[in-house]
Structure 1
Amino acid sequence: MIEREVTPQLRRWFNKYPVLTITGPRQSGKTTLARQAFPHLRYVDLEAPDEQEAATVDPRGFLARYPDGVILDEIQHVPELASYIKVLVDADRRNGRFVLTGSEQFGLTKTISQSLVGRSALFRLWPFTLAERRLAGAAGGIDDILHSGFMPRLHDEGLHPPRFFEEYYREYVERDILRLGRISNVRAFRNVVRLLAGRVGQPVNLSSLSRDTGVAHTTISEWLGVLEACDIIFRLEPYYANIRKRITKSPKLYFVEVGLASHLVRIKEPEDLWSSPYRGQLFENAAVIEAVKHCHNRDLLPDFYFLRTGAGFECDLLYERGDGLVVIEIKAGATLNRAWFDRLARAAQTIPGVVETALVYGGAERIERSGVPAVPIDRLSELLEALTTRPEQTPPGQPAVHHTRNGESHGEAAE
């Protein structure tokens, strides 16, 4: 079993706080990570009926079994335990006692923020990065990546991607959202999710989705919120300039797991991507999420954006650095195209504050032209390390709460 990139950060914050909470998408490896990172702690699975009953009936007695700390897996099944943990922590402020894991679908972050504010460091675990996927022995071709994605269990156990993702969709998308009481028409919901998979990397158009599915746009908007809360989709906000009319204000949506998006657009084998109209969008999806994973795993907190002006000029990925803006263009093609570099040159000339530009593409070699690096997608993490000269670290003593939406507030560029 490989060591996850986030492990050093987890151990660091475990020693600074009484409680460490790990949340994130279903099947992203939270249980394995907790047990691997903290082998000295006893482990309890709160999905087990007997443990769940013991924790519910006598929470004080249950916690008294573990005076030296414990990993409480799937704590959302007994959310009231958080209040009793608070009492223990307030009586004994030793750091590194409790590790909690659970899924955000059932309000874990809200539970922790209400009961354990100031007492718990909160981390969000994503599926494998490209480097982790490679260490796990997965095939490394671009079409293999887009087809089989990044879920640890799929690669650890050598599972068949179409079957895995169909079960994942039914078990963790439809079922979880049904349990939340948010779906009245399962077929219509699946149609909406399929359309979203076919439109990754495009600004959200609720009217178009409503027209194409026959579902009210208010219902679709609610479903999007639930899908985001359940770690199925990721929202990339537009970067706001001071002339708002020139900016498309709708966010773009990407799937947290690109393999699920590929499955939903009926990619059955890697070879299906050779002629698929979705290949470029899925490649962009993989690159954007890889950038987000890179920063989360290193406790860096840049907010990523895209930019699209009213005239149609677009930048795929943009973030603010201490000295200005960094712009990254994403292209699935394996052959470098002069027009791609021309677009980046135009971005540097027309977007105020741009200090660096770069290209991620579907080729195999790192190439630099006129000072602009072009890197394969599997070297995106290396590129981000080089571009982030002064990363905005979390202030000492304040853990990164990784589940907050990006783009809630952001500065404005001059015209």
Structure 2
Amino acid sequence: MINRNISAKLKELLSSFPAVALMGPRQVGKTTLANEPFLTKESIYLDLESPSDLAKLSEPELYLKQHRDKLVILDEVHRLPNIFQVLRGIIDQNRREGILAGSYLLLGSASIDLLRQSGESLAGRIAYVNLDPLNLIEVGNANLNKLWFRGGFPDSFLAKQDIKSNQWRANFIKTYLERDIPQFGPRIPAETLRRFWTMLAHEQANMINASKLARNLGVDSKTIANYLDLLVDLLLVRKLQPWHQNIGKRLLKSPKIYVRDTGVAHSLLNIDSFEDLLAHSTVGASWEAFIVENVLSILPKSVTPNFYRSSGGAEIDLILSFGKEIWAIEIKRSLTPKVEKGFYHGCETIIATQRFIVYPGEEAYPLKNDVTAISLSELMKRIENI
């Protein structure tokens, strides 16, 4: 079993808040993590997709009050939206009786719905934490290429053979399209949404061109925006926003799009082996997505990620703002990375305090103009040490 980095954070939140929402895409390991022994108190687990477990909550207030001495874990909590008002009443009663923390752990696969439903009823009573797919710190640097190719969903990463990993990801995509997504959004034909998801994989790490996507899919731009918002809400796709400071430059303002798990992106593109990946036209974009998602998986909430691109060609793949510290990060697949002028110009514009090029090598070494070539694992360690 792989230890997850957020275990300590989750334990801390459960000791401080009456309710904690653990959010992440399906099959990312939420249930496994939730059933670890976080607190000294006993826990009880209810899967709200199970008819028998759901039946136990036919009278939710009565059932939950019977288990006030336990940590109640509610999986796929979006299935029972009226539960949040009940939880509020019990939490408030518990507070009056001195039970202040560690009562409920809510697991959800759709971030916006869960945030909205819980936020309206449980404001001030709930904390939120995301569980992302496995990252490089969790699996170790020796597994970098395996993690990049297979992605970070535990069953995909831990499969005994690539063919088993490929099969798992193919089934994951099929199940999401045919069973899971219809639960959250409008009835979209599975094949239409597969085509859209695949288009995004082809456009990995690029700025979104809604008109192009709409034309290729035979729909309007508003429909594209709705499809994209759905995949973002399900934590399957990321929109990375452009640097927005008022710096007197003509900046491009569309977000960059990432299919968040590279293994899923590779399956959508029918990339069946690491060798196929290295020969594929999207290899550079896939590497960028892999770096970005690993870095963002460990960022504190206070850190804002962006990218920079000007109409004149200046570009920075990833910007991290740590208060007064601004880190500029360029991402290259080459073992002998070279810095382009556009990166230097971008760094001068945003007044970057640290400048890095992430490359596949292991040694950190200086380049000109205060740029450091660095491995992904070393960059992640430096971020964790801030």
TM-score by length of 2: 0.90
How many residues in Structure 1 have an aligned counterpart in Structure 2? 376
Partner of 1:58: 59
Look up the equivalent residue of 2:94 and give its one-letter code.
D
What CA distance in whole angstroms lies between the structure 1 residues aligned with 2:245 and 2:123? 35
Within 5 Å, give how 1:101-250 maps onto structure 2. 101-104=107-110, 107-134=113-140, 140-142=143-145, 144-158=146-160, 160-242=164-246, 246-250=250-254
Partner of 2:19: 19
1:302 and 2:288 matched? no
Partner of 1:9: 9
Secondary structure of the structure 2 residue equivalent to 1:140: helix
Look up the equivalent residue of 1:49 and give its one-letter code.
P
Q: Which runs of 5 or more residues in structure 1 are unaligned?
A: 389-415
CA offsets per residue over residues 324-365 of structure 1, 9 Å max, x none?
42111011122233x35x55443333x142211111112232
What CA distance in whole angstroms lies between the structure 1 residues aligned with 2:286 and 2:135? 16
What CA distance in whole angstroms lies between the structure 2 residues aligned with 1:280 and 1:304? 20
Partner of 2:28: 28
Secondary structure of the structure 2 residue equivalent to 1:290: helix
Within 5 Å, give how 1:320-359 maps onto structure 2. 320-337=321-338, 339-340=339-340, 343-349=342-348, 351-359=349-357
Partner of 2:73: 71
Q: Which runs of 5 or more residues in structure 2 are unaligned?
A: none
TM superposition outliers: structure 1 runs of 4+ over 6 Å:
none
In the TM superposition, what is the alpha-carbon distance from 1:258 to its structure 2 partner? 1.2
- The answer to whether the Cα contact below 8 Å between 2:19 and 2:126 also exists between their aligned partners in 1 is yes
Secondary structure of the structure 2 residue equivalent to 1:316: strand
Partner of 2:267: 263
What CA distance in whole angstroms lies between the structure 1 residues aligned with 2:28 and 2:354? 33
CA offsets per residue over residues 22-57 of structure 1, 9 Å max, x none?
1111111111111115264322222221120120x2
Identity among equivalent pairs (%): 28
- The answer to whether the Cα contact below 8 Å between 2:23 and 2:108 also exists between their aligned partners in 1 is yes
In the TM superposition, what is the alpha-carbon distance from 1:149 to its structure 2 partner? 0.5
In the TM superposition, what is the alpha-carbon distance from 1:312 to its structure 2 partner? 1.6
Moved more, 15-24 or 228-237: 15-24
Secondary structure of the structure 2 residue equivalent to 1:238: coil
Distance 1:352 1:271, change over 3 A: closer
What CA distance in whole angstroms lies between the structure 1 residues aligned with 2:112 and 2:328? 36
- The answer to whether the Cα contact below 8 Å between 1:11 and 1:37 also exists between their aligned partners in 2 is no
Partner of 2:102: 96
Partner of 1:399: none
Moved more, 7-16 or 372-381: 372-381
CA offsets per residue over residues 230-253 of structure 1, 9 Å max, x none?
111011001124267711111001
What CA distance in whole angstroms lies between the structure 1 residues aligned with 2:158 and 2:276? 24
What CA distance in whole angstroms lies between the structure 1 residues aligned with 2:160 and 2:243? 40
Look up the equivalent residue of 1:377 and give its one-letter code.
L
What CA distance in whole angstroms lies between the structure 1 residues aligned with 2:295 and 2:66? 41
What CA distance in whole angstroms lies between the structure 2 residues aligned with 1:180 and 1:18? 27
